[in-house]
Chains A and B, each alone.
Chain A
Amino acid sequence: MAVCIAVIAKENYPLYIRSVPIQNELKFHYTVHTSLDVVEEKISAVGKAMADQRELYLGLLYPTEDYKVYGYVTNSKVKFVIVVDSSNTSLRDNEIRSMFRKLHNSFTDVMCNPFYNPGDTIQSKAFDSMVTAMMVQAS
């Protein structure tokens, strides 16, 4: 159950960002932005090995005292970032992976839409509903 989900384009601007506690949204924006550095570092760490060998799931990017940030990069350098609450310890790695997989698939569907210009913000309702399903239900 994520607290914040973001999709960032290759040029490092956000295509889609959604967080659950609507107040504090800015804080999540900031967190996601700082996590981009870690993502870049992980991508470049693979070095000369080509993208096939680099796994898409980056894993835990960095933890803070409040939450943990996970990253995932596609082959076209589109990044997905999920921020989860640290208190939610029950989330396993597999679940995070499956969340990323779902994100990736929905993103692919959005891409397949000829009316979507890559680089636009994502306004697809289907994508929205999928993301909302993954987010924590705010009490």
Chain B
Amino acid sequence: MESLTLTDVEQKYYSDLFVYCDTDNTKKVASNGKVLDLFRAAQLPSDVVLQITELCGATRLGHFGRSQFYIALKLIAVAQSGLPLRVESLNSVKDLPLPRFVVAKNEQEARHTAMYPDLENQGPYQGVIPRPPARGQVKKVSPDTTSPVVSPHHSPPTSPHAWRKHKRQASGGNVERPPVVVAGAVWTPFRESQSGPVVAGDGMWSAHSPPPVQESWVSLKDTYPPSSSKLPPMHLSPVQENSSIRTVASVATANEIQRQSSSGYDDPWKITDEQRQYYINQFKTIQPDLNGFIPGSAAKEFFTKSKLPILELSHIWELSDFDKDGALTLDEFCAAFHLVVARKNGYDLPEKLPESLMPKLIDLDDSAEVPDQAPDVGYSGSPVEVTPNKSPMPSLNQTWPDLNQGNEDTAIVHPVPIRMTPSKIHMQEMELKRTGSGKMASPYDKSLCCLGCRSNSGTSPEGLKVVAAPPPPPPRPNASHSRSSSLDMNRNFAAHPTGPQQSGVVACPPAIPPRPLPTQTSGPHSGHRSDEGLAAHSTTSPQQIPEQPNFADFSQFQAFAASDQPNDDGEKHPESLPAKGSIMAPPPKPVRRRLKSEDELQDEALPPKSNVIATVLATLPSIPRSVGKDKKAIQASIRRNKETNTVLARLNSELQQQLKDLLEERISLEVQLEQLRPFSHL
């Protein structure tokens, strides 16, 4: 055997390679298969390889002992550097670069690769030398055979770009990769997983995908990293990088690489096609409809199988449930799954959801927050949709301007649909409504009630910049109905009470308007105390009054006129009125009370008149309700009010006249009585 002198670096490197090939762990002999693989990876023509094996004496021995192996490696280096293969060259060639080996990468390896970059300080060699992990490391790692998840506990690996990118130095993105290099970890799983000939040309996932479904997360793990671990601790010189990459047979890796070569620095959290497909399949097992949701409980069971601690699962959930609805869409599920897988492989969970994992959201637009993982945002050709930047913490600290603007643009007054999930805007709206209804209730001025109501409703949404449901659109008063029959009014009125109830989240003004009525009616009432009992008069006058939303009164008048019964005014009044709704109930009460006192004083004809008047006046406060929406409505209602005023004034004067007449009558009657009675008190 030729003597061989190796530099320290070479020595270490070769010993590592030897260990790598020493799958039987004999420490003496490298297994042929591995060695041959290795040699093939050296990218040398096969006859050269043959020659090398012959030269190093393996063919003689039939196996690769350590020294043979070392010689072979040296010869490979020689061959790679273009020198003729000679035994003498073994020792004579100085400054021989280390032999270089290319292996088919799969993307998994790429993810896990961490060999080279930190090793710039390794030596004079221009090619980045994969720092041969110390033996000790390997040994330390090797006993840990249970879970391949021994990879360095640092940020996720970059994809094959690391292969290319590591020019001379550590790739910037993978700074955290400590010198405790994956190599050691990689070897272990590699050693364990004899699964499949993961030789160049084997698509990573495709070989193992879909891993045995659902249940065993462990099995998933087993297959997941081993495909990555295919990477032997080799390195590429920058010069040869591109060419070697291109020689990789695996289509998928080539795609991957090309994708990365085009996109520059890659997002380590990106989900590849194969992974996504796998996730989608898993999603289907839980929820066949891809557009549907996975409820929280099902997701919990599923992810609990991964045997991650609950705290981490909880954190993963927080990151991935983007809309905080307690259920996972397909995108959210993929993100969660991806995070779990990454966590299982030892990568720390990010604080915020990485961009590439964010689910697509269409209508929400937020200020962007760049995730700490990927410095570059512009990916081209990424299969995973990169969404518009969203703050990873979507809960309330966001404003959703689109939602607001969309509502404000439509100047239509309508109840605003409320999101069922809690949101800042939602809460604001709720608050608004709570305060808004309070505001509207308070200033209830007789003259300004309509305007005041409107202005309040106008200001509150504007002031707060959030569309609160404006007061429910009041029923439109139809001027055409001013002389209409009671049927219309009945129907209108029947429609009316349901109106305010339907229209709103706010239980606002419908109940409120009657409140000022007692004050209102008390005023006019003092004026109109006299009802001369001119039933005909009374029936016509209210009808002259422009129709008010409170049609109850008219129908009551009609009924009253039809019956022409002043008698049971007292009964009729409470009967008819309550029938018209609770709104009218409060106002008539004071009227009724006064009526009763009046009954004692005056003719029976009078009270009905006062009833009429009361009910007419009771219609007034409904005016504010009628004033809903815009200036025209206000003006129309102003006009109506004016008309009402004039009508009432006329009514007033007429009633005054009647009062005078009645008083005269009364006096004359009393005189007569007096004359007739003088004998009674004798």
Contacts and interface: CB of A to CB of B under 8 A. Distances in A.
Interface in A50-108: 97, 101-102, 104-106, 108
Interface stretch (B216-224, B295-303, B584-592, B595-603): B295-303
Interface in B316-354: 317-318, 321, 324-326, 351
Contact of B314 (A102, A104, A116): A116
B318 A125 contact: yes
Contact of B317 (A97, A106, A115): A115
A126 B392 CA distance: 10
A93 B109 CA distance: 58
B422 interface: yes
A23 interface: no
Contacts of B58: none
Interface in B384-401: 393, 395-397
B67 to A, nearest CB: 56
Contacts of A108: 324, 422
B314 A105 contact: no
Nearest to A125: B315
A23 B395 CA distance: 31
Interface residues of B, number: 26
Contacts of B318: 109, 113, 124-126
A123 interface: yes
A119 to B, nearest CB: 14
A130 B424 CA distance: 14
B671 interface: no
B317 to A, nearest CB: 5
A60 to B, nearest CB: 19
Nearest to B312: A115
Given A109-B395, A125-B351, A126-B393, A114 B317 contact: yes
B509 to A, nearest CB: 19
B332 to A, nearest CB: 12
Contact of A101 (B297, B326, B427): B427
A114 B296 contact: yes
Given A102-B397, A113-B314, A123-B314, 20 more contacts: A97-B431, A101-B427, A102-B396, A104-B427, A105-B396, A105-B422, A105-B423, A105-B424, A108-B422, A109-B318, A109-B324, A112-B324, A112-B326, A114-B297, A114-B317, A115-B300, A115-B310, A123-B311, A126-B318, A130-B397
23 contacts: A102-B396, A104-B422, A108-B324, A108-B422, A109-B395, A112-B324, A112-B325, A112-B326, A113-B317, A113-B321, A114-B296, A114-B297, A114-B300, A115-B303, A115-B310, A116-B314, A123-B311, A124-B318, A125-B315, A125-B318, A126-B393, A126-B395, A130-B397
Contacts of A129: 393
Contacts of B321: 112-113
A5 to B, nearest CB: 16
